[in-house]
Structure 1
């Protein structure tokens, strides 16, 4: 393909003009642009610690400590029309939703006496009088766990969705 002399000249002028426009700020300041060397200061690594969102607010409002988890077990308002994990504690029920067939939540919920599963089986770690006990809750079951008549106060410390 042949280009005319005029077309070649115009292309050269446009390229030259673009070069002038790009470098004009450097000429105006009297210096050439540089890239700063970060030196010995390396950027920090982003490390996910799996902290439960709004944990401090939930502690103040509901009296439950939610430490950390994998995001697959979330505290929700109790609703009888949906299938939820229900933790019975004193006069208050706490409900959670499982968004996966596996999940983990590290928490501290005192006064637990019952755990109900729905769509997924669960395992719950409970502590009473310094002794830790793991309770298995089959799918769609209610299991008495912890406090009862003449039983010591029991605290739920870990909840796992297992299937």
Structure 2
């Protein structure tokens, strides 16, 4: 009987040790699992774009992206949104093109000295602009497909800073 009791005690002790080891392994595995990915919609490569081009791209949904203006930056393809500024420098400092994809899109930014925005063929875009009038005003301009929308000094007003491009346009 004594041998049976001793065997039962050893089995119980072994089970306790194995149970503790299994719990420790499970906890270690949980600690090593990948962290959840949280999308903050920050524009990829924004710091480099700001250093190279002097424009600040903040965040968006990925459906409006900075694009190449083509061989002639003063006359880019019709399938891009063109933002023109009065900034001094080469065409890549004054003309900024954006490619829009999908049914909707948004990109927040800060592009100063904007005076014209040309709409992309095929979609109407809302351009949120801060104009430095006597009292600064933030308003959304409608930019129709292929049309040139004057902004800020292009309207005979103060400097305009483009804060956001968004489509579809909602008044």
| TM norm. shorter chain > 0.5 | yes
Unaligned runs of 5+ in 1: 1-30
- 1:75 counterpart = 2:66: yes
Per the normalisation by structure 1, the TM-score is 0.71
- 1:120 counterpart = 2:123: yes
More helix by share: 2
Q: How many residues in Structure 1 have an aligned counterpart in Structure 2?
A: 133
Deviation at 1:37, TM superposition (A): 1.3
Deviation at 1:83, TM superposition (A): 1.6
Aligned-partner Cα distance in 2 for 1:64–1:136: 22
Per the normalisation by structure 2, the TM-score is 0.68
- 8 Å contact kept, 2:104–2:166: yes
Change (3 A) 1:136 1:63: same
Q: Report matched runs for 1:91-130 at 5 Å.
A: 92-117=94-119, 118-129=121-132, 130=136
Deviation at 1:105, TM superposition (A): 0.2
Aligned-partner Cα distance in 2 for 1:77–1:39: 46
Aligned-partner Cα distance in 2 for 1:63–1:158: 16
Aligned-partner Cα distance in 2 for 1:107–1:148: 20
